[in-house]
């Protein structure tokens, strides 16, 4: 626990800032099902006095490359200043499970993402470590990520992100949690809920819902995020 708090404090230190560099998103678990396939939909709606309403959706398809690694391809959509919704970018995501569940004091994984903007030659690469620790009926999940951005219309620079979820495994279908996010220009916390409905073999449907309030000052800044994922 002290290690996680130390990482979070380091990420809160002053650094370079981009006004829209961080969007509240999924807290990743370090697990991959053997040879799984999945389809996923995500929505994030951020309301802030500085940027107004930012609405984003992601649709993806993933296929396991092995029993420990999965590759996902995303189409990212967003609403522009005129209120029109269109394709904003494309992503490739690679997740790898490093340890078997329960093998060590925590379960470990890796995450790598490459994103290309649709309307400009702007890129983002993200990589980091995923952990999950079970504490009785509770689970503590962390994502520690390093981000590098470059392109024609943005300044080349490194940033960092820290995400944490503290979850109570009440029943598989309903699991309340608290999520915490820290980035160069954003600190937020709020309630979350998730659930899993299992079917035959490894088929399962996952859902997530969270409301994250920004703690950056007196101005309004909050995000609603939703996700549905079907694994088969």
pLDDT tens string 136-188? 999 999 999 999 999 999 999 999 999 999 999 999 999 999 999 999 888 99
Model confidence, pTM? 0.87
Tell me whether residue 201 is exposed, middle or buried, using C-beta atoms within 10 angstroms of its C-beta: 0 to 12, 13 to 18, 19 or more. exposed
- In CATH, the number for domain 2-231 is 2.40.160.40
Q: Is residue 14 predicted with pLDDT exceeding 80?
A: no
Task: Flag whether pLDDT at 229 surpasses 70.
Answer: yes
pLDDT band with cut points at 50, 70 and 90 for residue 6: very low
Contact 89, 20 (CB under 8 A): no
Cα distances (angstroms) measured from residue 51 to each of 47, 196, 227? 8, 34, 23
pLDDT for position 22 = 66
Domain ranges in the chain? 2-231
* Residue in the structure block whose two tokens are 């002290």: 2
pLDDT at 199 over 90: yes
């Amino acid at each position: 626990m002290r290690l996680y708090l130390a990482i979070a404090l380091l990420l809160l230190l002053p650094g370079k800032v981009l006004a829209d560099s961080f969007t509240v998103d999924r807290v990743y678990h370090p697990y991959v099902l053997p040879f799984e396939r999945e389809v996923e939909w995500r929505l994030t709606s951020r309301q802030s006095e500085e940027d107004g309403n930012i609405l984003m959706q992601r649709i993806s398809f993933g296929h396991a490359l092995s029993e420990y690694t999965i590759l996902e391809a995303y189409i990212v959509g967003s609403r522009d200043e005129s209120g029109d919704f269109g394709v904003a970018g494309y992503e490739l995501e690679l997740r790898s499970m490093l340890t078997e569940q329960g093998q060590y004091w925590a379960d470990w994984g890796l995450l790598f993402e490459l994103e290309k903007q649709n309307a400009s030659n702007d890129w983002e690469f993200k990589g980091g470590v995923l952990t999950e620790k079970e504490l009785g009926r509770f689970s503590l999940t962390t994502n520690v990520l390093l981000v590098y951005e470059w392109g024609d219309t943005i300044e080349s620079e490194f940033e960092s992100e820290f995400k944490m979820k503290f979850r109570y495994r009440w029943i598989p279908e309903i699991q309340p949690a608290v999520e915490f996010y820290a980035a160069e220009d954003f600190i937020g916390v709020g309630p979350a809920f998730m659930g899993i409905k299992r079917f035959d073999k490894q088929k399962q449907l996952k859902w997530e819902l969270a409301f994250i309030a920004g703690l950056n000052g007196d101005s309004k800044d909050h995000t609603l995020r939703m996700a549905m994922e079907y694994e088969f």
